[in-house]
């Protein structure tokens, strides 16, 4: 038996894992063509043809709609901007509640606060890591206006049942699809399953434009309102003839022509960039699923996983060491693994102190809201158990990862399991 690297022994792997890089000559040529044109943005914040953006922005939106089978695609400068636009288009305002996931990037919940609404956190499923129809029902109230569902780490939520709940209660559903390009749900593209879907084109996503995002919908009215919010809507509505001007105070959420040019080329690559993630994940699942106290990534029936990250659940009562100590040992062996994913959002200071805009606690102090919300530790027990004790994830599943790289991951697990006594005795 070799000594574990955490205790001074040689690591299984001493070189970094390959960096995920999807940018090639196609993107370089596309950007140079924009620079040669000299038109880096085609948007104008006035009611004119340029209100909807330049030629490459429009081309990327057409291509996106065709690929994902949606009626409308609207580019934005980030998925955060897309979420904000979606919540505004949904008509959310002060005194409303929006049911959200506690286990996600902060913008998925703060999008509600931007419009003066109250985020209400629903617990997640311990396998898919998504909020569920059951936990959503537990959080419904007379103030509920919308639901933001996050397809975390690439696994779609149970969207059919969630949409049934929404239709029953006349709620708008927004699907945060930042991590699922390539994923499928019952034969449909994840991200197209709700009233509005929001994709991310941030630099570490499956395809990217550095920063950027795309909002999709099949609803003409929602698409119109998203476009207004994206581009200074308050100065456009008179000339455009828009009567309902609620929430169309506009921002500058516009994508540049260079980003769009990169996005056009990146979208072409998606069919070749997603399958390697599945192959890598399937390899790890097949090799790791026999280790005691280790539960590999779950894929529900009818789902094709996006594998933005590969997740594992760890049972310290079986293994005999803590998840944190085990992950430290993996990192020492040269395997990039993180503990949990992100701290449950309701434990952040903004929610614990209920301070967002101004000093008096808005939106929680809005006089028109008479509801109640629980942000106390323990309010979402599943997510806290996963974050603090069970979940670990890695980003090695992508097109640049070779089988020998994955073998190193497996070898590190085998080495640690063969030497658990070293960790138990510390």
The pLDDT tens digits for 225-242 are 999 999 999 999 999 999
pTM listed for this prediction: 0.97
pLDDT 10s digits, 164-208: 999 999 999 999 999 999 999 999 999 999 999 999 999 999 999
User: Is residue 254 in some structural domain?
Assistant: yes
What is the average pLDDT across 352-379?
Answer: 97
User: How confident is the model at residue 1, as a pLDDT?
Assistant: 54
Question: Is residue 426 predicted with pLDDT exceeding 70?
Answer: no
- What residues make up the domain containing 185? 25-266
User: Is residue 381 in some structural domain?
Assistant: no
Q: How many domains does the chain have?
A: 1
User: Is residue 299 in some structural domain?
Assistant: no
User: How confident is the model at residue 256, as a pLDDT?
Assistant: 98
Question: Is residue 60 predicted with pLDDT exceeding 90?
Answer: yes
Counting other chains too, the contacts that 37-46 makes at CB distance below 8 Å and 24 or more residues apart are 37/257, 39/257, 40/256, 40/257, 40/258, 41/254, 41/256, 41/257, 42/257, 43/231, 43/254, 45/231, 45/232, 45/235, 45/236, 45/250, 45/252, 46/235, 46/236, 46/239
What is the average pLDDT across 370-386?
Answer: 97
User: How confident is the model at residue 424, as a pLDDT?
Assistant: 86
Q: Strands 144-150 and 97-100: what pairing? A: parallel
User: Is residue 411 in some structural domain?
Assistant: no
User: How confident is the model at residue 250, as a pLDDT?
Assistant: 82
- Tokens matching residue 65: 């709609």
What is the average pLDDT across 340-360?
Answer: 97
Question: Is residue 45 predicted with pLDDT exceeding 80?
Answer: yes
User: How confident is the model at residue 2, as a pLDDT?
Assistant: 82
Query: Residue 414's pLDDT band (boundaries 50, 70, 90)?
Result: very high
User: Is residue 320 in some structural domain?
Assistant: no
223: CATH: 3.40.640.10
User: Is residue 144 in some structural domain?
Assistant: yes
User: Is residue 425 in some structural domain?
Assistant: no
The Cβ-side half-sphere exposure at 51, using a 13 Å CA radius, reads 19
User: Is residue 421 in some structural domain?
Assistant: no
Round to whole Å and give the CA distance between 212 and 289: 36
């Amino acid at each position: 038996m070799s000594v574990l690297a955490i205790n001074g022994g040689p690591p299984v792997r001493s070189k970094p894992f390959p960096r995920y890089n999807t940018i090639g000559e196609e993107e370089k040529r596309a950007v140079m063509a924009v620079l040669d044109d000299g038109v880096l943005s085609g948007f104008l914040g006035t009611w004119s043809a340029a209100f909807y953006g330049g030629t490459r922005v429009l081309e990327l939106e057409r291509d996106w709609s065709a690929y994902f089978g949606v009626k409308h695609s609207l580019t934005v400068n980030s998925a955060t901007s897309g979420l904000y636009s979606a919540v505004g288009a949904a008509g959310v305002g002060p005194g409303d509640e929006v049911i959200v996931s506690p286990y996600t990037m902060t913008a998925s919940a703060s999008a509600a606060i931007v419009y003066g609404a109250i985020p209400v956190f629903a617990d997640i499923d311990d396998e898919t890591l998504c909020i569920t129809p059951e936990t959503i029902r537990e959080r419904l109230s007379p103030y509920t206006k919308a639901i933001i569902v996050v397809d975390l780490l690439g696994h779609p939520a149970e969207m059919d049942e969630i949409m049934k709940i929404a239709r029953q209660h006349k709620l708008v559903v927004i699907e945060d699809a930042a991590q699922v390009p390539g994923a499928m749900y019952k034969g449909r593209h994840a991200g197209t399953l709700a009233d509005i879907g929001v994709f991310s084109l941030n630099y570490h996503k499956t395809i990217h434009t550095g920063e950027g995002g795309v909002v999709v919908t099949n609803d003409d009215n929602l698409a119109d309102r998203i476009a207004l919010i994206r581009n200074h809507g308050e100065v456009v509505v008179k000339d455009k003839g828009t009567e309902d001007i609620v929430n169309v105070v506009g921002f500058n959420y516009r994508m540049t022509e260079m980003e769009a040019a990169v996005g056009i080329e990146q979208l072409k690559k998606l069919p070749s960039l997603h399958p390697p993630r599945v192959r890598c994940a399937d390899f790890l699942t097949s090799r790791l699923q026999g280790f005691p106290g280790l539960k590999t990534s779950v894929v529900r029936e009818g789902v094709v996983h996006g594998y933005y990250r590969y997740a594992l659940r760890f049972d310290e009562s079986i293994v005999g060491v803590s998840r944190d100590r085990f992950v430290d040992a993996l990192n020492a062996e040269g395997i990039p693994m993180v503990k949990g994913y992100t701290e449950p959002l309701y434990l952040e200071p903004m929610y614990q102190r209920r301070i967002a805009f101004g000093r008096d606690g808005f939106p929680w102090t809005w006089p028109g809201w008479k509801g109640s919300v629980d942000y106390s530790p323990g309010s979402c027990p599943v997510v806290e158990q996963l974050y603090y004790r069970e979940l670990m994830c890695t980003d090695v599943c992508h097109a640049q990862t070779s089988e020998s790289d994955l073998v190193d991951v497996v070898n590190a697990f085998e080495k640690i399991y063969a030497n658990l006594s070293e960790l138990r005795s510390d």
